[in-house]
DNA sequence: GGCCTTATTTGATCTAGGTCAAATAATTGG
DNA sequence: CCAATTATTTGACCTAGATCAAATAAGGCC
């Protein structure tokens, strides 16, 4: 498989996650015209509960976790939003306490649903962008269901790290460094593990020489292929991981 | 909350599941014009894998399970499709072995993606129908993530039965009968349990007097409110279950 | 730089749910 | 209606991951 095919496949499914929208903002650019910018700091929430106002949001920069609170103690992470993602009320489950939690400083574009729909009608580019976004999110949600329903804890963690590497990794030789915009608890709740268990799995991966920590929100992936071998190849997803070959074509090389 | 609101809320989120499309087929009617009808019997599969042809499907009658095979032994159910649902390749995760498995005799409408897109462009009704369908499915997927990530086995089963009651229940006095178009294994894999565990939970619910079997694919729900109390109220979803009041407004009464 | 706070890790223990094998029920096909 | 087949249930047992408590390690802030 050629590298260009790999890139194409990846672009098809992975919302760009490098922290800004420069690569794919054609759709967002038009949205920025009609939207209000909301700045969030880590820990801030946007309420998306059932009784929410009908607002549409688009992520301009930063990362959020869509979470539902089933009770005071039970918080479930549903999805991750990264730059370029669009959040529309109709696509959210009708749960009372639903919120998007900023895990890092974010810039969010906010607009009324009516205005957004009008924009979609006017601009074919926005309409297409938005339809694609919706489809991608749906595919991601379904992949996430597969992860939750079909993978063990260790496999989930491995798959998460491989995905992060491909979305946001930076290559230094054979090592991939990832600045992870999530706390361990964020990751744990996204993978439906508890933080203790995640930490244990993480330690195991470290002792196997697959990963290394470098500060709290940064990890070094020492053996991406080894990680990728830990979960079913069929879930290598968009990446088209050829497990016997260095699969780093997608990653920005430090030296570039 | 009034009954009419309840109905509205439900219609907003639940694809009609009664086994035919008479209630909401306005969108489907136009689709039938351009589509080929495919008849499936229980156990038949439609291949939706990554290398699939670019085809769009719409369910006219019957029920399917979208499933991914991670290996020969590991089959993961991702979503349920019921009459009215539309299946488009772009919304599916890029997994190699993905298929829609008929759990009951089905009529499926099949068409090329290009023809479908053209139809959407031409007909505002189809476009709207399809957009709504997509949004509903996305909401359902997210609800399912909450179920998988946040609920215990027993809670999942209770929530599934309540949902089936609301989607397809038939009321006889205070008892709700549901013809379930899925085998126990189907249900188990949809709830990410194994059949043994599901059976055990089911037996527990029977011994608590909440449900009763009446043949292999039919269950009687003796105490819908009791079932609904077994999982977090916030997940009562679309139903707007007022747990202290008979919530049967939505259900077709035998005597009608 | 050193204290304070908060996040992460680790150990010890427990349990929901998985696994495997065997026993029953339903269905199907004659 | 009965044998054969297949689906479900139940029992006995066992692990992955949860829970709780305590120890560390990172950051933050003066």
**Cβ atoms of B256 and B170 closer than 8 Å:** no
- Per-residue model confidence (pLDDT) at position B239: 52
What tens digit of pLDDT does each residue of A145-174 get? 999 999 999 999 999 999 998 888 888 888
The pLDDT-based confidence of A28 (bands split at 50, 70, 90) is: confident
B243: which chain A residues are within 8 Å (Cβ-Cβ)? none
The pLDDT-based confidence of B8 (bands split at 50, 70, 90) is: very low
What tens digit of pLDDT does each residue of A194-210 get? 999 999 999 999 999 99
A83 vs A243, higher pLDDT: A83
- Per-residue model confidence (pLDDT) at position A26: 66
Q: Is the pLDDT of residue A255 over 50?
A: no
Across B124-139, average pLDDT: 91
Average pLDDT in chain A: 83
* 25-84 in chain B: CB under 8 A from chain A: 66, 68-71, 74, 76-79
The angle formed by the CA atoms of residues A186, A188 and A193, to the nearest 5 degrees, is 150
Whether chain B has a CB inside 8 Å of the CB on A153: the answer is no
Return chain B residues 182..211 having CB < 7 Å to nucleic acid strand D: 183-185, 195-196, 198-200, 202-203
Across B67-79, average pLDDT: 91
- Per-residue model confidence (pLDDT) at position B171: 85
Across B54-62, average pLDDT: 93
Three-state SS string across chain B, please? CCHHHHHHHHHHHCCCCCCCCCCCCHHHHHHHHHCEEEEECCCCEEECCCCCCCEEEEEEECCEEEEEECCCCCEEEEEEECCCCEECHHHCCCCCCEEEEECCCEEEEEEEHHHHHHHHHHCHHHHHHHHHHHHHHHHHHHHHHHHHHHCCHHHHHHHHHHHHHHHHCEEECCEEEEECCCCHHHHHHHCCCCHHHHHHHHHHHHHCCCEEECCCCEEEECCHHHHHCCCCHHHHHHHCCCCCCCCHHHCEECCC
A41 CA, D2 C1': Å apart: 73
Q: Is the pLDDT of residue B17 over 50?
A: no
Across B198-215, average pLDDT: 93
The pLDDT-based confidence of A236 (bands split at 50, 70, 90) is: low
Say yes or no: Cβ of B91 under 7 A from any atom of strand D: no
Average pLDDT in chain B: 83
The pLDDT-based confidence of A246 (bands split at 50, 70, 90) is: very low
Across A12-30, average pLDDT: 51
Of B92, B96, B235, the CB nearest to A139: B92
Judge residue B97's burial from the number of C-beta atoms within 10 Å of its C-beta, 0-12 exposed, 13-18 middle, 19 or more buried. Answer: middle
Query: Would you state the structure tokens that stand for residue B20, as one six-digit string?
Result: 């035919």
Q: What percent of chain A has pLDDT over 90?
A: 59
Of B71, B76, B237, the CB nearest to A146: B76
C-beta atoms surrounding A51 within 10 Å: 8
A66: which chain B residues are within 8 Å (Cβ-Cβ)? 142
CA distance A138 to B138: 6
What tens digit of pLDDT does each residue of B132-156 get? 999 999 999 999 999 999 999 999 9
Alpha-carbon B129 to chain mean position: 18
> Could you tell me the CA-to-CA distances from A59 to A41, A69, A80, A92, B91 in Å, in that order?
13, 22, 11, 16, 20
> What is chain A's alpha carbon radius of gyration, rounded to the nearest angstrom?
18
Across B240-252, average pLDDT: 41
The answer to whether A134 contacts B132, with C-beta atoms less than 8 Å apart, is: no
C-beta atoms surrounding A37 within 10 Å: 10
pTM above 0.85, yes or no: yes
- Per-residue model confidence (pLDDT) at position B250: 42
Helix axes A124-150, A3-13, angle to 10 degrees: 90
């Amino acid at each position: 498989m050629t590298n260009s095919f790999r890139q194409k496949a990846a672009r098809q499914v992975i919302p760009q996650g490098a922290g800004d929208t420069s690569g794919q903002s054609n759709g967002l650019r038009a949205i920025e015209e009609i939207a209000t910018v909301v700045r969030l700091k880590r820990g801030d929430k946007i309420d998306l509960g059932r009784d929410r106002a009908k607002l549409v949001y688009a992520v301009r920069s930063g990362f959020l976790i869509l979470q539902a609170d089933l009770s005071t103690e039970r918080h479930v992470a549903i999805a991750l939003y990264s730059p370029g993602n669009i959040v529309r009320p109709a696509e959210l489950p009708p749960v009372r306490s639903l919120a998007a939690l900023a895990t890092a400083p974010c810039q969010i574009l906010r607009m009324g649903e009516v205005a957004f729909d009008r924009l979609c009608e006017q601009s074919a580019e926005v309409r297409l962008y938005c339809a694609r976004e919706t489809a991608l999110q749906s595919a991601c949600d379904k992949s996430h269901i597969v992860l939750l329903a079909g993978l063990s804890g260790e496999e989930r963690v491995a798959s998460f790290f491989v995905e992060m590497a491909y979305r946001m990794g930076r290559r230094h030789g054979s090592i991939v460094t990832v600045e992870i915009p999530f706390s361990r608890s964020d990751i744990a709740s996204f993978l439906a593990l508890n933080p203790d268990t995640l930490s244990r799995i993480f330690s195991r991966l470290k002792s196997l020489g697959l990963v290394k920590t470098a500060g709290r929100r940064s990890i070094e992936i020492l053996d991406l292929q080894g990680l990728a071998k830990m979960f079913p190849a069929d879930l290598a997803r968009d990446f088209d991981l050829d497990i016997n070959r260095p699969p780093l074509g997608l990653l920005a090389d430090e030296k570039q």
